[in-house]
């Protein structure tokens, strides 16, 4: 279990500006290759520009809350579902690990939230030049938020996520290193985002959440 081994043996907890864990080597090389090769359109080809959110096509707000009709947000991201699962066998293997009782119970103990009735949601993200993300706290439906970085183009480590205090003062930037990531439990003081920075080619990530609303991937019990 690559993810479980990573959070148990290669993670470090930090308490400031809010509780979070950083960890290494959670993804197999096969899963990383699927993230790198996922076909995600370039916004510039559709005459759209980043607005500090991921809702650039108008559908994300509803989809984030689990309303399927808001699925337009999938246009510029790749959610791993049972429909496209055959294209991503190694990411599905990763999801199955997240679904396992051993893993979700371990994370539950770490973050202090019960994940036994939750669902897993995984999406491949590819941010390009012009991307930025205003400081925000995740919606309450996200019980656990996680981002795993895939940096195969030697992009600057400064392209990691920025963490802020309650006054929105930038406290730290998590390094955008290959097969490196973080997770935390959403709350009213978990301010994070990404300042406007130069992306030479692309910023690939895997976003992972345990959520309260239904997805194709219910956890095991």
Q: Domain span at residue 7?
A: 2-218
pLDDT confidence of residue 75? 60
| DSSP element (H, E) containing 212 | none
pLDDT confidence of residue 56? 56
Which distant-in-sequence residues (6+ apart) come within 8 Å of 49 by Cβ? 43, 56, 130
For residue 6, pLDDT beyond 70? yes
Tell me what the mean pLDDT of segment 13-18 comes to.
97
Angle 2-9/89-99 helices, nearest 10 degrees? 60
pLDDT confidence of residue 128? 87
For residue 45, pLDDT beyond 80? no
119 burial class (0-12, 13-18, 19+ CB within 10 angstroms)?
Answer: buried
pLDDT confidence of residue 48? 64
Are the C-beta atoms of 77 and 209 separated by less than 8 Å? no
| 192 SS3 class | strand
Q: How confident is the model at residue 58 (pLDDT cuts 50, 70, 90)?
A: very low
- Count: domains in the chain: 1
The dihedral sign for the CA sequence 126, 61, 43, 38? positive
Q: What pLDDT, in 10s, does the model give residues 60-97?
A: 444 445 444 444 544 667 899 999 999 999 999 999 99
Q: Report how far residue 37's alpha carbon sits from residue 220's, in angstroms, rounded to the nearest whole number.
A: 29
Global pTM value: 0.89
**Residue 188: CATH number of its domain:** 2.60.120.620
pLDDT confidence of residue 42? 77
User: Is the backbone peptide bond immediately before 17 cis, with ω within 30 degrees of 0?
Assistant: yes
Percentage of the chain exceeding pLDDT 70: 85
| 203 SS3 class | strand
Tell me what the mean pLDDT of segment 175-186 comes to.
97
CA 101 to chain centre: 21
| DSSP element (H, E) containing 89 | helix 89-99
Looking at per-residue pLDDT, the higher value among 13 and 75 belongs to 13
pLDDT confidence of residue 64? 46
Q: Report how far residue 21's alpha carbon sits from residue 40's, in angstroms, rounded to the nearest whole number.
A: 28
Q: What pLDDT, in 10s, does the model give residues 82-139?
A: 999 999 999 999 999 999 999 999 999 999 999 999 999 999 999 988 888 999 999 9
Are the C-beta atoms of 18 and 187 separated by less than 8 Å? yes
Which distant-in-sequence residues (6+ apart) come within 8 Å of 92 by Cβ? 80, 85
| 37 SS3 class | helix
């Amino acid at each position: 279990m690559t993810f479980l081994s990573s959070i148990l043996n290669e993670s470090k907890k930090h308490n400031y500006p809010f509780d979070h864990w950083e960890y290494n080597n959670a993804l197999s090389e096969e899963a990383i290759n699927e993230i790198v090769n996922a076909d995600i359109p370039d916004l510039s080809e559709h005459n759209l520009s980043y607005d500090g959110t991921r809702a650039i096509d108008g559908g994300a707000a509803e989809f984030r809350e689990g309303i399927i009709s808001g699925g337009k947000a999938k246009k510029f991201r790749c959610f791993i579902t049972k429909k496209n699962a055959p294209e991503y066998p190694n990411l599905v293997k990763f999801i199955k690990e997240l679904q396992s009782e051993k893993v979700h119970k371990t994370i539950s103990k770490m973050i202090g939230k019960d994940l036994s009735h939750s669902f897993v949601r995984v999406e491949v993200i590819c941010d390009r030049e012009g991307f930025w993300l205003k400081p925000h706290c995740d919606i309450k439906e996200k019980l656990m938020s996680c981002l795993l970085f895939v940096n195969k183009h030697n992009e600057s480590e400064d392209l990691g996520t920025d963490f802020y205090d309650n006054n929105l003062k930038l406290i730290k930037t998590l390094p955008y290193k290959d097969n490196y990531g973080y997770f935390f439990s959403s709350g009213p003081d978990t301010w994070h985002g990404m300042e406007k920075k130069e992306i030479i080619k692309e910023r690939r990530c895997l976003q992972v959440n345990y959520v309260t609303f239904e997805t194709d991937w219910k956890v095991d019990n």
